[in-house]
Amino acid sequence: MVSVAIHCVLVIIFSLSIIKVNCYICHGTSQYGRCSTNGACGCFDMIGSDNTGICAFLWVSCSQLKLCNSSTNICDKLGDICVQHPRCNSHSVCYPSSMIDERICPALPNVSTTTTTTTTTTTTTTTTIQHLGWGKTGSMNNGRFGHAASVLADGKVIITGGAQSFGTFYSVNLNDVEIYDPSTESWTTANNMSYPRNAHTSITLKNGKLLIIGGISNTNVLNSTELYDPETKTWSFTGNLNTNRNYHTSSLLTDGRVLVSGGANPLSIIRSELYDPQTQIWTMTGAMNFPRQSHQASLLSNGRILISGGYGEGYYLNNSELYDPQTGKWTITGSMKHPRSDHTSTVLPNGKVLITGGHDEKNNLNSAELYDPNTELWTTVQNMKYERKKHTATLLTNGKVLVTGGQNGPMLNTVELYDPTSDNWITIDNMNYERGYHTASILKNGKVLIVGGYSEIALNTAELY
C-alpha cells in the first residue's frame, strides 16, 4: 500500500483568535494505519473524502470526542476536524486540533511534502523558525513522560518506562525500553521490563548493569527492582525494596552501592535503603529527619549525598539533609531560602550545588539557590527568567548549566544557561518542542540528549543540544 502524506497548514482566523493547525494528511493509508514516527498516531479518514485522512493521536477516549454536526459534518470548535472513527460507535467525531498536531504526530521520514492548504480569510505566511543550537534527532517508537534515562558504559542512552497519558485519556504506564545510539542518532527497542513503571529511577552501576528501582505500575506502587545486562540484553529481578515507593531519589555512592531515599506510597516516606550490587540485597539504612517525595539528591565531592526540599507531610520543605555513607546516618544541613518540590539539583565543577525552580503550594518558581558543602549554607543566586517545574538541568562540559523546558501552566520550550563564574543566566534558543516531565542526558561527545516528555500528550521526539 502506498502511503503518501501531504503536509498541510490550516490557518483559521476568526475574530481576534488565531487557530493554527499543523497536521499531516495521509493518503492511501487504511483507517488507523501507521502515518507517523509516533506509533500512538494513526490515519483517520475524513468525512466525504476518498482515501484521504488526517494523522492523529489514536488514544483519545470516545467520551472525550464531540460528534460532528450530523447534517453538515462540521465541528463547532474552530480547528477541530470531522473524522470517521468506527471504534467510537461508527459515529463521525470532531478531532481536537491539539491531537492532530504535527508536533505530536510527526510524519514518517518517507513523506513527500507537496501542498500547503491554507484555509483563511487573510493571507498568512508560515515562517520556519530555526532553532539554533537545537538539532532534531531520531524519534522513539513510543511517546512517554515520567520515564527514566541513563547513560550506559558504551555511551548509549537507555530509556525505560514512563507514562503515555495523564488520567484524561487512557492512563497507560509503559514497560518498554528504547536505546539511543549517539553514533547513528537512532533508536532501537530492547527487551521489556517485567513491570510497567512510571516515577521510577534508573542507575548505571559500576559493573555496567542498569538498576531500575520502584515506581508505579498501572495498579500499584512497586517494591520490585530489575537489573538490565547490556552484554546479554536481558532483564533479571534483583531483590525487592523494603518499602514500595515512587517519586523517590536514587544515588550511586562512591563505593558502588546505591542509596534510595524517600518517595511516596502514597504518603511521603521517611525511610531510606541501600542496594549492594555484590550481594544484590536491599537493606534499610538511617531514616531521614523528614519524610519527603519529589525531592532531589546529589552526590557531593566528599562522598556524601545532599537531599533538598520535596513535599513532606502536608507542606513543601525548605530544609536539606546530608547522608554519610560511613555512618549510615542523616543530619540536617542548611535550609534553602524557599521551600520547593520538583526542582533540579546539579553539582558544579567547584563542588557547589545549584538548585533551580520547582514549585511550592502556590507558585512555580524561577528562583535558584547555591549550596556550599564547606559552609553548609545556601545562598540565593540570580533568578531564572522563567518560572518552571518538572524541567531539567544539566552540567555541560564547559561548566555551564543547561536548563530546559518544564511546566508553568502550559509546557515550555524555553532554555536558559547558568554561568557559575558570573552568576548570570542567559536565555538561549528555544527547543523545537514544548516539553515538561522529560529527561536530559549528557552524552560522551558533550551534547545533551533531550527525550520525550509531555505537552498535551506524551512526546516521542528527541533533540540534541
Instruction: HSE, CB side, 13 Å, CA atoms: give it for residue 5.
Output: 28
Do the Cβ atoms of 298 and 306 come closer than 8 Å? yes
Distance of closest approach, residue 100 Cβ to ligand NAG, in angstroms: 22
Distance of closest approach, residue 319 Cβ to ligand NAG, in angstroms: 6
For residue 234, give every residue at least 6 positions away whose Cβ sits within 8 Å of its Cβ, in sequence order, or none: 191, 228
Determine, following the binding rule CB under 6 A, whether residue 77 of this chain makes contact with ligand NAG: no
Query: Which residue number, 376 or 456, has a Cβ lying nearer to ligand NAG?
Result: 376
Distance of closest approach, residue 110 Cβ to ligand NAG, in angstroms: 4
Q: In the numeric block, which cell numbers belong to residue 312? A: 513532606
Q: In the numeric block, which cell numbers belong to residue 24? A: 499531516
Distance of closest approach, residue 255 Cβ to ligand NAG, in angstroms: 25
Determine, following the binding rule CB under 6 A, whether residue 110 of this chain makes contact with ligand NAG: yes
Do the Cβ atoms of 122 and 13 come closer than 8 Å? yes
Nearest-angstrom CA–CA distance, 330 and 313: 18
* Choices 142-150, 186-194, 293-301, 305-313; region in contact with ligand NAG by CB under 6 A: 186-194
Query: Which residue number, 72 or 89, has a Cβ lying nearer to ligand NAG?
Result: 72
How many CB atoms lie under 10 A from the CB of residue 430?
18
Give the number of residues in contact with ligand NAG, rule: CB under 6 A.
16
Residues 35-74 as x/- pattern, contact with ligand NAG by CB under 6 A: ----------------------------------x-xx--
Return the DSSP state at 431. P
Query: Which residue number, 252 or 306, has a Cβ lying nearer to ligand NAG?
Result: 306
AA letter at 45:
D
Among 318, 363, 383, 432, binds ligand NAG (CB under 6 A): 318
Determine, following the binding rule CB under 6 A, whether residue 189 of this chain makes contact with ligand NAG: yes
Distance of closest approach, residue 442 Cβ to ligand NAG, in angstroms: 27
Peptide bond into 266 cis (omega under 30): yes
Q: In the numeric block, which cell numbers belong to residue 179? A: 536505546
Residues in the chain: 465
Residue numbers 145-184 binding ligand NAG by CB under 6 A: 175-176
Beta bridge partner(s), residue 274: 259, 283
Residue numbers 234-273 binding ligand NAG by CB under 6 A: 240, 244
Determine, following the binding rule CB under 6 A, whether residue 382 of this chain makes contact with ligand NAG: no
Among 116, 171, 186, 220, binds ligand NAG (CB under 6 A): 220
Distance of closest approach, residue 250 Cβ to ligand NAG, in angstroms: 18
* Choices 158-166, 188-196, 408-416, 457-465; region in contact with ligand NAG by CB under 6 A: 188-196
Residue (of 246, 248, 188) closest to 215 by Cα position: 246
Classify residue 393 by burial, with Cβ atoms within 10 Å: 0-12, 13-18, 19+.
Answer: buried
Query: Which residue number, 282 or 433, has a Cβ lying nearer to ligand NAG?
Result: 282
Residue (of 333, 357, 334) closest to 344 by Cα position: 357
Distance of closest approach, residue 122 Cβ to ligand NAG, in angstroms: 23
Nearest-angstrom CA–CA distance, 400 and 395: 6
Determine, following the binding rule CB under 6 A, whether residue 192 of this chain makes contact with ligand NAG: yes
CA torsion 305-307-313-319 (nearest 10°) is 120
Residues at the site binding ligand NAG, with contacts judged by CB under 6 A: 69, 71-72, 110, 175-176, 189, 191-192, 220, 223, 240, 244, 318, 335, 337
